[in-house]
């Protein structure tokens, strides 16, 4: 769709054209994002919200413009878009500033076995602190959420449902909207881990009606170090700050302080200004393509890759067989070959794939494996990338004498 | 080193048919460790008799490199005096493997060795082992 916009992808590794199939870990960045970051530092760099001079005004305007773009991108209002470092920090913010004060001994938090560690560990910590119980929705054989069990768990009126929109291992697209409706019917708040959905499909927080939603800029063509937490304004207004410091205050006295307005109440200290601006440009880029088109492009490649992989002997594919139920992530194994060994052989061919537990050890347990290999695609992935990957897979078969 | 050389017949053989794999009914030295960056995991049990490694078994999950390296290591140390085997160096283990490795894969190759040292020094009582 846009391969030529990405400078890194024009290079070679081991004398081979780079085939980057690890976009779920982090995406490559288009030239305009790289240029935008350099432009900021060369023409507008200053601290935000704390100077009256021209440069500070410029930096503040660009930083806040980025917030507005992101708000429009996900259907939120500006006050509901909080800049954080990444998805992980967004989830931790909700755990500490929202969940902790609402939970008491015996209360329930519900999550799923297909979560990334970043949507499990913060809840374990909060559960330990508050005496709440943490329950998990299991998955079916096919790698879909067990909706029957989801319903049963929601009957127990948990305080919070923390759920991934798209699995970073199986690619499963969860029925987030339906789950949120069910949860709300039981008085349960919902946090959506959108790290793998916002970069790949149209997401509208208003339509989803989620209470919180977190994602990372670096997985959606933006730089590392910047992420977003969306929260409903009515909830954010009533929450205590997460981190204390500069920028997040209105007035500070030695004995007490008052908090700044939203969203700054949750942005203590100098933020990643260039990162936010870079992410704003990445969002422009995606909006110009249109998220419907991005999704369609990735679905086509996903279906193509699945079909090709099924034709390779000894390939075991995890997750929904039905391509329409998943996004552009395919976890697999090749016979008895450990995914690390497979990755090494692929790397030699210039094909970058991921192997390991993908920060989802409980899910590995549910799948009955310790690790998988994974390919994941993005806007810049091409059919040729998939073809080169398949050729490398066939080479691996020879290397491992399968 | 290219992939064919790295995954030579011997390595794949040790991976598919590891030597001394399993558990010992009587073990008086043992250790276990995980490579946090990849989740590979190896446990080693030994029966030390009269200061010698009378028997050794390993178990765990991992890539061909980590499994083959550990399998080769068990072949090498079985029957040897424990204090002598405990003095083995990283390079000795890499020599057993006989392949060149990238820094990322070095960890795989040395996981079993690390566990072996932990077990050996645990038994010898110094308790000291520096990675
Ligand atoms: C589903 C999911 N949630 C959360 C994360 C964590 O993202 P980050 O490391 O950017 O905080 C990831 C990243 O791998 C992910 O795939």
Q: What is the CATH number of the domain that holds A166?
A: 3.40.640.10
Task: Indicate yes or no: CB of B7 within 8 angstroms of CB of A399.
Answer: yes
Segment A223-279, tens digit of pLDDT: 999 999 999 999 999 999 999 988 888 888 988 898 899 999 999 999 999 999 999
Same-domain check for residues A210 and A114: yes
B111 touches B62 (CB < 8 A): yes
Task: Indicate yes or no: CB of B38 within 8 angstroms of CB of A371.
Answer: yes
Q: What residues in A contact B59, CB-CB < 8 Å?
A: none
Domain count across chain B:
1
Mean pLDDT over B63-69 rounds to 93
Distance CA A379, CA B78 (A): 54
Residues with CB under 6 A from ligand 1: A 24, 86-88, 116, 118-119, 164, 168, 193, 195-196, 216, 359
How large is the C-alpha radius of gyration of chain A? 22
| Per-residue confidence band for A139, with pLDDT thresholds at 50, 70 and 90 | very high
> Which of A271, A288, A305 represents a domain boundary (last residue)?
A288
E strands within B7-80? Answer: 29-34, 41-49, 52-61
Mean per-residue pLDDT of chain A: 96
Same-domain check for residues A276 and A303: no
In a domain, B131, yes or no: no
In a domain, B128, yes or no: no
The whole-angstrom distance between B36's CA and the closest CA on chain A is: 10
For β-strands A19-20 and A108-112, DSSP reports them as unpaired
In a domain, A1, yes or no: no
| Per-residue confidence band for B126, with pLDDT thresholds at 50, 70 and 90 | low
Same-domain check for residues A93 and A117: yes
Distance CA A334, CA A336 (A): 6
Domain count across chain A:
2
| Per-residue confidence band for B130, with pLDDT thresholds at 50, 70 and 90 | very low
Confidence (pLDDT) at A91: 98
For β-strands A257-259 and B29-34, DSSP reports them as unpaired
Q: Which of A314, A338, A399 to mutate: most B Cβ within 10 Å?
A: A338
CATH code of the domain in which A12 resides: 3.90.1150.10
Question: Looking at ligand 1, which residue's alpha carbon is closest to its atom 14?
Answer: A25
Report the percent of chain A where pLDDT is more than 90: 90
Confidence (pLDDT) at B127: 45
Q: In residues, how long is chain A?
A: 402
Helices (H), A290-369: 291-310, 339-348, 361-367
CATH code of the domain in which B16 resides: 3.90.1010.10
How large is the C-alpha radius of gyration of chain B? 14
In a domain, A259, yes or no: yes
- Specify the range with the lowest mean pLDDT, choosing from A70-79, A170-179, B5-14: B5-14
Q: How many Å lie between the centroid of ligand 1 and the Cα of residue A93?
A: 15
The whole-angstrom distance between A17's CA and the closest CA on chain B is: 17
Same-domain check for residues A184 and A196: yes
E strands within A217-328? Answer: 227-231, 249-252, 257-259, 315-317
Q: Return the ligand 1 atom nearest residue A166 CA.
A: 1
Same-domain check for residues A309 and A275: no
Distance CA B91, CA B89 (A): 5
Half-sphere exposure of A181 (CA within 13 A, CB side): 6
A210 is catalytic: no
CB atoms under 10 Å from CB of B93, counted, come to 20
For β-strands A108-112 and A160-164, DSSP reports them as parallel
What's the domain range around B112? 3-122
Half-sphere exposure of A280 (CA within 13 A, CB side): 21
The torsion angle over the Cα atoms of residues B108, A352, A196 and A110, rounded to 10 degrees, is: -20
Distance CA A143, CA A123 (A): 23
| Per-residue confidence band for A402, with pLDDT thresholds at 50, 70 and 90 | confident
Among the options A359, A366, A369, A371, which is catalytic? A359
| Per-residue confidence band for B131, with pLDDT thresholds at 50, 70 and 90 | very low
Q: How many Å lie between the centroid of ligand 1 and the Cα of residue A164?
A: 10
Confidence (pLDDT) at B2: 81
Q: How many Å lie between the centroid of ligand 1 and the Cα of residue A195?
A: 5
What's the domain range around A147? 33-288
């Amino acid at each position: 769709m846009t391969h030529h916009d990405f400078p890194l992808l024009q290079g070679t590794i081991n004398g081979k054209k780079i085939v980057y199939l690890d976009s779920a870990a982090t995406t490559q960045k288009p030239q305009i994002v790289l240029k935008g970051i350099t432009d900021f530092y060369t023409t507008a760099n200053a601290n935000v919200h704390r100077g009256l001079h021209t440069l500070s005004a410029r930096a503040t305007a660009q930083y806040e413009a980025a917030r507005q773009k992101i708000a429009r991108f996900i259907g939120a209002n500006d006050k509901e878009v909080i800049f954080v470092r990444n998805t992980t920090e967004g989830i931790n913010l909700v755990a500490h500033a929202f969940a902790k004060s609402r939970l008491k001994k015996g209360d329930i938090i519900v999550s799923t076995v297909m979560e990334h560690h970043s949507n499990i560990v913060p809840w374990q910590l909060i559960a330990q602190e508050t005496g709440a119980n943490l329950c998990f929705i299991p998955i079916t054989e096919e790698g879909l959420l067990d909706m029957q069990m989801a319903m049963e768990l929601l009957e127990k009126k948990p305080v919070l449902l923390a759920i991934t929109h798209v699995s970073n291992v199986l690619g499963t697209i969860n029925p987030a909207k339906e789950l949120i409706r069910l949860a709300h019917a039981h008085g349960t708040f919902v946090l959506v881990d959108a790290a793998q959905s916002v970069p790949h499909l149209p997401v509208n927080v208003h339509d989803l009606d989620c209470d919180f939603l977190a994602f990372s800029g670096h997985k959606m063509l933006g730089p590392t170090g910047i992420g977003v937490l969306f929260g409903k304004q009515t909830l954010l207004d009533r929450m205590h700050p997460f981190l204390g410091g500069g920028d997040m205050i209105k007035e500070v006295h030695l004995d007490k302080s008052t908090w700044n307005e939203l969203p700054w109440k949750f942005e203590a200290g100098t933020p990643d200004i260039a990162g936010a601006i870079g992410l704003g440009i990445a969002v422009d880029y995606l909006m110009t393509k249109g998220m419907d088109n991005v999704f369609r492009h990735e679905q086509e490649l996903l279906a193509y890759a699945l079909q090709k992989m099924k034709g390779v002997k000894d390939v075991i594919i995890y997750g929904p067989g039905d391509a329409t139920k998943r996004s552009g992530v395919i976890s697999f194994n090749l016979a008895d070959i450990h995914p690390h060994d497979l990755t090494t052989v692929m790397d030699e061919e210039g094909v970058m794939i991921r192997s390991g537990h993908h920060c989802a050890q409980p899910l590995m347990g549910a799948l009955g494996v310790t690790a998988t290999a994974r390919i994941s695609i993005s806007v810049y992935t091409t059919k040729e990338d998939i073809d080169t990957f398949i050729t490398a897979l066939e080479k691996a078969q020879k290397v491992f004498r399968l | 080193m290219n992939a064919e050389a790295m995954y030579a017949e011997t390595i794949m053989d040790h991976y598919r048919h590891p030597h001394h794999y399993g558990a010992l009914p009587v073990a008086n030295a043992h250790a276990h460790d995980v490579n946090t960056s990849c989740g590979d995991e190896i446990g080693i049990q030994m029966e030390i008799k009269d200061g010698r490694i009378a028997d050794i078994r390993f178990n765990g999950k991992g890539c061909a490199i980590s499994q083959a390296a550990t399998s080769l290591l068990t072949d090498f140390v079985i029957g040897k005096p424990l204090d002598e085997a405990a003095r083995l160096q990283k390079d000795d283990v890499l020599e057993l493997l006989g392949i060149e490795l990238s820094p990322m894969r070095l960890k795989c190759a040395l996981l079993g060795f690390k566990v072996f040292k932990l077990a050996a020094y645990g038994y010898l009582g110094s308790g000291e082992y520096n990675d």
